[in-house]
A and B are shown apart, each in its own frame.
Chain A
Amino acid sequence: MKNKSLVAINDLSKEDIIKILDLAEEFEKNPIQNILNKTVVATLFFEPSTRTRLSFESAVSRLGGRVIGFSEAANTSVSKGESLKDTILTVANYSDLIVMRHSIEGSARYASEVSPVPIINAGDGANQHPTQTLLDLFSIRKTQGTLEGLNIFLVGDLKYGRTVHSLLMAMSRFGASFTFVSPRELRMPSEYKMHLDSMGLKYTEQTDLNENLDKADIIYMTRVQRERFSDPLEYEKVKNVYVLRNKMLENTKPTMRVLHPLPRVNEIHTDVDPNPKAYYFPQALNGVYTRMAIMSLILDLK
């Protein structure tokens, strides 16, 4: 991974993934290190994403590095019409590593081709967000003790959800089985089912969130967004159906954990929060360790 950009989760081999998770585990035990003390990381957020940006910036700061950058494209040269290429070539002069988020799909791949310094994709539109996937994998391994052979429930918007698609692709390398829980309009696209078929992995589909939860090792919740529905009536019908409540977790496995990429709106009721099975806030903390690991491997500091 030395000096290489991280654009998509499929850029990483299974060995790379495990290396990142192992190193993230080390950072979890010892999160204050001064290894980035001569490093400047640029965080270019052409599209706002407070959580992801703060997570990266926290990771850099805790490792003694400096951050430069912007949190939205307004008030920058981008709003004056500067091309992405020019922005990247300029900022590369000021930094050792660029973390970027952009609404245009493929922008990170393109940036990685023109940039003299490595690029970490912190989300390019609906396409890729590999550090999210890696922190999800870290959270799953940490709570389950393994990544192999788990039963993952993916809930909510499975049609457009970038996070669930990347997680599916990554977990399929570890022999997972899946249960897809979504309204009919937002079912898992067939290309992903065909991928699982080709790997010989099992999956089932259901529209009822209450069914089979006792079989889950992980329940991965995502938000069902109003704007995804062509028919507003359809949204009204399902909007309260995919809400996880504490009483639904009664018969779930003791080791089961609920994950969510955040921000949550109403799809996990707040009565779940005190339950030890709720893992979405620790999951966000894991993002810091995971990003520490990714950055230090790319900068060859570990």
Chain B
Amino acid sequence: MKEETKLSVSAIENGTVVDHIPAQNLFKVISILGLERIDNLITFGTNMESHRLGKKAIIKVADKFFEREEINRIAVVAPHAKLNVIKGYTVVEKQVVEVPDRIEGIIKCVNPKCITNVELVKTKFEVIDKQNVSLKCHYCEKITDQEHMIYL
């Protein structure tokens, strides 16, 4: 499996490889990490076979190293993602995503009568279930579960 991945997306000298992204969420991850707005060399592959995820995607970003906070922002869309920090073509560090206690922005509150859907108010949630990623709105107190998640 690993061989195939390496073949389909070329290796980078320095940077970060984000692996084990559910294929359907690839573009959400790109958007959350703000990769559309940077000039670094980025390669990605998607719809690769994965035992765990069915179809997975992988992103390689040259010369980019993420802060812990940035990494955790993708937790809701790619909770099993793994990051390999590459220096001189070798993996020097492996990082896993941790679902944070609170999430700001990124997700839309499921409640159409919530103030965040009516006025320009940034969404804020308390994560009440880290396993299945279930969020309680800081404002209207309604629960947004994974099934109803819409990304901003």
Residues in A lying within 8 Å of B, measured CB to CB: 8, 83-85, 103-107, 109-110, 124-128
Number of residues from B at the complex interface, CB < 8 A:
15
Q: In the bound complex, do residue A110 and residue B139 qualify as a contact, i.e. CB atoms below 8 Å apart?
A: yes
Residues of A within 8 A of B62 (CB): none
Q: Which residue of B lies closest to A114 (CB)?
A: B121
Interface of A is mostly: loop
CB distance from B95 to the nearest CB of A (A): 33
Instruction: Decide yes or no whether B142 CB sits under 8 A from chain A.
Output: yes
Interface of B is mostly: loop
How many A-B contacts at CB < 8 Å in the complex?
44
Q: In the bound complex, do residue A127 and residue B119 qualify as a contact, i.e. CB atoms below 8 Å apart?
A: no
Q: In the bound complex, do residue B113 and residue A105 qualify as a contact, i.e. CB atoms below 8 Å apart?
A: yes
A31 to B119, CA, bound (A): 40
Instruction: Decide yes or no whether B118 CB sits under 8 A from chain A.
Output: yes
Q: In the bound complex, do residue B138 and residue A109 qualify as a contact, i.e. CB atoms below 8 Å apart?
A: yes
Q: In the bound complex, do residue A128 and residue B113 qualify as a contact, i.e. CB atoms below 8 Å apart?
A: no
CB distance from B132 to the nearest CB of A (A): 15
Q: Which residue of A lies closest to B115 (CB)?
A: A106
A8 to B137, CA, bound (A): 13
**CB within 8 Å of A: which B122-152 residues:** 137-142
Residues of A within 8 A of B121 (CB): 110
Q: In the bound complex, do residue B113 and residue A125 qualify as a contact, i.e. CB atoms below 8 Å apart?
A: yes
Checking A84, A85, A103, A106 against B141 with a beta-carbon cut-off of 8 angstroms, the contacting residue is: A106
Residue from the set B120, B138, B139, B142 with the largest chain A CB neighbour count within 10 Å: B139
- Contacts known (A103-B113, A105-B111, A105-B113); A127 close to B118, Cβ less than 8 A: no
A105 to B114, CA, bound (A): 5
Checking B113, B118, B120, B139 against A109 with a beta-carbon cut-off of 8 angstroms, the contacting residue is: B139
Checking A8, A84, A128 against B115 with a beta-carbon cut-off of 8 angstroms, the contacting residue is: A84
CB distance from B122 to the nearest CB of A (A): 10
Q: In the bound complex, do residue A83 and residue B119 qualify as a contact, i.e. CB atoms below 8 Å apart?
A: yes
Q: In the bound complex, do residue A125 and residue B140 qualify as a contact, i.e. CB atoms below 8 Å apart?
A: yes
A109 to B136, CA, bound (A): 14
A103 to B114, CA, bound (A): 9
CB distance from B129 to the nearest CB of A (A): 12
Instruction: Decide yes or no whether B16 CB sits under 8 A from chain A.
Output: no
Checking B114, B120, B137, B141 against A104 with a beta-carbon cut-off of 8 angstroms, the contacting residue is: B114
Residues of B within 8 A of A103 (CB): 113
Residue from the set A106, A110, A125 with the largest chain B CB neighbour count within 10 Å: A106
Top 7 closest A-B pairs, CB basis? A106-B139, A105-B140, A106-B140, A106-B115, A110-B115, A107-B115, A109-B139
Q: Name 16 interchain pairs, CB-CB below 8 A, sorted by A.
A: A84-B115, A84-B119, A104-B113, A104-B115, A105-B140, A105-B141, A106-B137, A106-B138, A106-B139, A106-B141, A107-B118, A110-B119, A110-B121, A124-B140, A126-B113, A127-B141
Residues of A within 8 A of B72 (CB): none
A177 to B68, CA, bound (A): 45
Q: Which residue of B lies closest to A10 (CB)?
A: B141
Q: In the bound complex, do residue A105 and residue B119 qualify as a contact, i.e. CB atoms below 8 Å apart?
A: no
A127 to B136, CA, bound (A): 13
Q: Which residue of A lies closest to B121 (CB)?
A: A110
A105 to B138, CA, bound (A): 11
- Other A-B contacts than A83-B119, A105-B139, A109-B139, 19 sampled, CB-CB below 8 A, are A8-B141, A84-B115, A84-B119, A85-B119, A104-B113, A104-B115, A104-B118, A105-B111, A105-B113, A105-B114, A105-B140, A105-B142, A107-B139, A109-B138, A125-B113, A125-B140, A126-B113, A127-B140, A127-B141
A132 to B144, CA, bound (A): 27
CB distance from A116 to the nearest CB of B (A): 18
How does the 8 Å CB contact mask read for B90-114 relative to A, with 1 for contact and 0 for none? 0000000000000000000001011
Residues of A within 8 A of B118 (CB): 104, 107
Residues of B within 8 A of A128 (CB): 141
A149 to B118, CA, bound (A): 42
A105 to B118, CA, bound (A): 10
CB distance from B142 to the nearest CB of A (A): 7
CB distance from A54 to the nearest CB of B (A): 26
